[in-house]
A and B are shown apart, each in its own frame.
Chain A
Amino acid sequence: MPTTPLSLIRNFCIVAHIDHGKSTLADRFLELTHAVAERQMREQYLDRMDLERERGITIKAQAVRLRYAPAPDPGRASGGRQGGGERAAREFELNLIDTPGHVDFTYEVSRSLAACEGAILLVDAAQGIEAQTLANFHLARDAGLVIVPAVNKIDLAQAAVPETVRELAELVGCEETDVLRVSAKSGAGVTELLDAVIERVPPPSGERDAPLRALIFDSSYDPYRGVIAYLRVSDGKLGGRARIRFMSTGRAYEAEEVGVFAPDAVPIDELAAGDVGYLVTGVKDVRQAKVGDTITRDDRPAAEALPGYREPKPMVWSGLYPAEGGDYSMLRDALDKLRLSDASLAYEPESSLALGFGFRCGFLGLLHMEIVKERLEREFDLELIATSPNVEFRVARNGGAEILSVHNPSEMPVPGTYDWVEEPFVLATVITPSAYLGPVMELCQSRRGTLGDMKYLSPERAELHYLLPLADIIFDFFDQLKSRTRGYASLDYEHWGYERSDLVRVDILLQGEPVDAFSAVVPRDRAYQYGRALTERLRELIPRQLFEVAIQAAIGSRVIARETVRAKRKDVLAKCYGGDITRKRKLLERQKEGKRRMRRVGRVDVPQEAFIAALRVETSAGSSPGGKR
């Protein structure tokens, strides 16, 4: 395959609020460019993991190369850089970088953006601009990308096309005629959109004769081939068999194979400046191929690395424990492997009196946590207990001279031994129909929010900015927001930083013994309510035992709530003689097995659901986080 001239390359991505049709549009691009044979086509082709298709979200960014020759119809050219005549003769190389659409994965979005020169900003004509539309637009513009605005779902009965076009033109700062109108579902306008990408998005710049510089913008791990790095080549050329060097570590490896995703992996001879593709090195340790690192040639190294990325910062922490105590080393191996394809996952060993040996894991958000847990269970055949997630607290001593980071609530020092506590805050953007302003503000206030500013996008829709503690939005905030606005409000947030808060640690005691896995750090004025709710929930979940079980919530030594599980009085086979014995024995064998799966804390058998339930107690509606946003 000859190297494509830079002028015929376009690197772009699609950014959109979730459900605005990004994956469907990508499917149409694949079809239009014949990248996938018709019979192999399936919905959301680029969403590679089962989980992604099930949840309808995109987790890992994907890069796919499309070859596209625009139709020779000069009449359709709308004043682009190049004349229709030249265009018609040429086949373009389009690299479509897919991006995740969930707020947890904003970090991966910005990484993907760095590999592009342009972005299609896609908005659902029936929904209008949403919070993530704004967030993604700002990310893309800040990354210096050319924005190609497009309104999708124009064929829906409830589509408000002219209004959405107007909103979008205003946001991007372009003429309404520059906004493309498409239906990703039917394919209407998709060709025109692809043509607009070619016309408006500039080709990548780069020196093909300069020393190699390629940015690793993502990586995955293949058990047979080792680390697979996704690259954007900025300068020079990278062929298979070249000796390459990771600039941050200085370590050199043989490039075993380079290639592109079209959309399945296709090896090619060489990746050149402007190209997006992959590199197989046989490196087994993903830490050697860090996302954000620059690859150069060992025999002709570049002088300077490309600007990298900041390390992803875990925002939500939870203890992951094997349900079967003996699976600890399997869990460790699984985490090591999973981290190869998920650089944002952090973990450190910890042990719990109640749960034994496990890991305190850091996640980008609650959805990320659920996905990691599901992947560990599915791909590594583990059964896990996850403790209630928490944010990272910072405990200040000596007037702030000494800061202690706490990832596990049970490690939170007792009051009186520190000066203050800080917790992470986010700046949230909520877009809501004006009619629901009251309920939205009420909700934000009840979550300790502070209103920053508010503006009207139109007389019917308002945009609000709130400063909120992260801990108060990671659970059910989004569900609450949706239910209070009949599904019309949208949310996005960015991390703001740490602020002081009046927080206390609430412990749960069973038979007077504190159970570390149940400890939580909560606002002082909510401690009583929290203690009540959790003890009540535990009373429902802890089965009756041979003795009465006292469940207490306490701050330090002060008990703030108490519940009792009454002693069990009957657990017997009334009749047991004759042929019944085989059946009865099997019954007891099952009962024994059920008991074995419980955790014994002191003398109390605690079912695994109790540890999971503690997750849910902070939610008033009992709704589940995660899922499609």
Chain B
Amino acid sequence: MKAGLYVHVPFCITRCGYCDFNTYAGLEELRLPYVEALVREADLARPGWPDARFVSVFLGGGTPTTLPIGQMVRLLDHLRTMLDVSPDAEVTSEANPDTVDVAYLAGLRAAGVTRLSLGLQSFDAGVLRALERLHSAEAAVTAFEAARSAGFDDVNLDLIYGAAGETLASWRRTLERTVALSPEHVSAYALTIEPATPLGRKVAAGVVPAPDPDTQADMYAAACEVLGEAGYEHYEVSNWALPGRRCLHNLGYWEGRPYLGLGAGAHSFAGDRRWWNVRPPQQYLETVARGLLPVGDEERLDADQRRLERLLLGLRLVDGVPESWLLAPERADMFVEEGLAERRNGRLALTDRGMFLANELVTDLAG
């Protein structure tokens, strides 16, 4: 059974205003015990995954690269020892431009990381400030070049569009400068305001304007255009890749493959069960230290939920879903007429325009 392995590293130097992930600043002293706990958790989880062959590993966060390189090496070594990680597995690490240099990145390569995902976000200094990112655009370029020097031939650049003050012209410049670096993969996310974040509170208070959906739609169209012309395939709502460079790990989520999540707040999924670890790192450490799986809660998906999930995930992808998954395929007729979806080889797939309306279409099709 092919599966994915996710490892959550909840440490950040500072927390960005828009981020609602399970991350913490100022807990650096927990880094070493945390790596111990991850290894211990892998050991505890192993019996539950007897037939799993892990074809992808993803170190996310947080900022995984806040871990000292020695710990990174140790962590990956142990994971490979305890779990059946395929030798040619895609191993991705997220990284912030200001946490890495050539030496560190070379260390990552040596530890077996094959793919780097750099949080670049924007080339516009104003946007970086609005997002409360510490690094400068120049630092991001430096980090990218360092990755190349360290031997990474599979690099993703993460971009965010639609922050307050960003114009379509500025976004196009970000896209063009991104393309000029020739990364293998680009993720471009429309900024989403999460209520329980500093930015969310500012928007609620009217201090910062909420992103305008039409402007974001224009920016999305610009991304489709600029990246498409540069040879990137738009294979998921927010993801573009050169041929053969799609992110295997994330494809696993969208295609409904099982995954094991290690670390504070990490989610796992197998069969009809999804479960997630306790979120606070301290509680996570204590539970694992007692030799217990740190599961916080779980859910069993019923048939309706599974159908909705399969549609909401599958329709994010360029190849869409088999029409046989739809209870009422004729409901898609209107979307096809409006140019929001296409029928190809017995499958229903959303067009670029349709993908940006996926919620609307999925809720209709799942009805």
Residues 565-609 of chain A: 1 if any B CB is under 8 Å from the residue's CB, otherwise 0?
A: 000111111111111111011011101100110000001000000
Task: Determine whether the beta carbon of A579 is less than 8 Å from that of B192.
Answer: no
Find out whether the CB atom of B312 lies under 8 angstroms from the CB atom of A585.
yes
A69 interfacial contact with B, CB 8 Å: no
Q: Is the CB of A570 within 8 A of B253?
A: no
Query: Which residue of A569, A579, A581, A603 is within 8 Å of B313 (Cβ)?
Result: A581
What is the distance, in angstroms, from B326's C-beta to the closest C-beta of chain A?
A: 15
CA distance A572 to B216 in the complex (A): 11
> Please, what's the 1-or-0 string for B299-322, where 1 marks a CB less than 8 Å from any CB in chain A?
100000100110011001000000
By a CB distance below 8 angstroms, the chain A residues around B237 are: 572-574, 576
Prevailing SS type, chain A contact patch: loop
**Interface residues in B335-358 (C-beta closer than 8 Å to A):** 335, 338, 340, 353, 355-358
Answer yes or no: A547 CB below 8 A from chain B CBs: yes
Decide if A569 touches B213 in the complex (CB within 8 Å).
Answer: yes
Whether B308 pairs with A589 at a CB distance below 8 angstroms is yes
Asked whether, in the complex, the Cβ of A574 is within 8 Å of the Cβ of B261, the reply is no
Sorting the interface of chain B by its residue count into under 10, 10 to 19, 20 to 34 or 35 or more gives 35 or more
> Could you tell me if B340 and A579 are in contact, using CB atoms closer than 8 angstroms?
no
Given contacts A546-B335, A588-B308, A603-B334, contact A572 B356 (CB under 8 A): yes
The answer on a CB contact under 8 Å between A546 and B274 is no
B305 contacts A546, C-beta separation under 8 Å: no
Q: Which residues of A238-274 are within 8 A (CB) of B? A: none
Choice from A568, A573, A576, A579 contacting B265 with Cβ under 8 Å = A579
Please report the C-alpha to C-alpha distance between residue A570 and residue B269 in the assembled complex, in whole angstroms: 29
Query: Are A585's CB and B309's CB within 8 A?
Result: yes
Stretch among B118-126, B168-176, B178-186, B359-367 lining the A interface: B359-367
Cα A588 to Cα B361 with chains together (Å): 11
| A570 adjacent to B363 (CB under 8 Å) | no
Taking CB atoms, residues of chain B closer than 8 Å to A580 are 267
User: How distant is the Cα of A572 from the Cα of B340 in the complex, in angstroms?
Assistant: 13
Contact A571 B358 (CB under 8 A): yes
Residues of A within 8 A of B334 (CB): 546, 603
> B213 contacts which chain A residues (CB < 8 A)?
568-571
B274 touches A592 (CB 8 A): no
Contacts of B269 in A (CB 8 A): 581
Q: Does B149 contact A (CB under 8 A)?
A: no
Given A574-B238, A578-B253, A578-B261, A585–B305 Cβ distance below 8 Å? yes
B360: chain A residues at CB < 8 Å are 546, 568, 571
B189 in the interface (beta carbon within 8 A) = yes
Mask of B11-52 contacts with A, CB within 8 angstroms, 1/0: 000000000000000000000000000000000000000000
The answer to whether the Cβ of B220 comes within 8 Å of any Cβ in the partner chain is yes
- With CB as the reference atom, state the residue of chain A lying closest to B274: A582
Chain B residues in 8 Å Cβ range of A581: 253, 267, 269, 274, 309, 313
Query: What class of interface size applies to chain A in its complex with B?
Result: 20 to 34
Question: A591 near B359 (CB under 8 angstroms)?
Answer: yes
B-chain residues with CB within 8 Å of residue A591 when the two chains form the complex: 359, 363
A577 touches B357 (CB 8 A): no
Residues of chain B lying within 8 A (CB to CB) of residue A588:
308, 312, 359, 362-363, 366
With both beta carbons as reference points, the residue of chain A lying nearest to B337 in the complex is identified as A547
Smallest CB gap from A566: residue in B: B214
Question: Would you give the shortest CB distance from A477 to chain B, in whole angstroms?
Answer: 37
B189 touches A574 (CB 8 A): yes
- Contact call B359/A573, Cβ cutoff below 8 A: yes
A292 vs B209: C-alpha distance when bound (angstroms): 64
Given known contacts A577-B250, A578-B6, A588-B312, A570 and B190 CB-to-CB distance under 8 angstroms: yes
Check if B192 sits within 8 Å of A575, measured CB to CB: yes
Q: A572 to B358, Cβ gap below 8 A?
A: yes
Cα distance, A580 to B305, chains bound together (Å): 15
Say whether B144 faces chain A, with CB atoms less than 8 Å apart.
no
* Interface contact B356-A569, CB-CB below 8 Å: yes
Chain A residues near B198: list those with CB within 8 A. none
Tell whether, in the assembled complex, residue A578 and residue B366 are in contact, meaning their CB atoms are under 8 Å apart.
no
Residue from the set A568, A571, A591 with the largest chain B CB neighbour count within 10 Å: A571
Q: Are B309 and A570 in contact (CB under 8 A)?
A: no
Q: Are A576 and B305 in touch, CB under 8 angstroms?
A: no
The 10 closest A-B pairs by CB, nearest first: A579-B267, A569-B217, A570-B213, A577-B253, A574-B189, A592-B363, A574-B190, A571-B359, A571-B360, A570-B217
* 13 CB < 8 A contacts A-B: A546-B340, A569-B217, A569-B353, A570-B214, A572-B355, A572-B358, A573-B358, A575-B238, A576-B253, A578-B261, A581-B269, A582-B299, A603-B334
| New contact pairs (13) apart from A546-B357, A575-B189, A588-B308, CB-CB < 8 Å | A569-B356, A570-B214, A570-B356, A572-B356, A576-B316, A577-B250, A578-B259, A578-B261, A579-B265, A581-B253, A581-B267, A581-B269, A588-B366
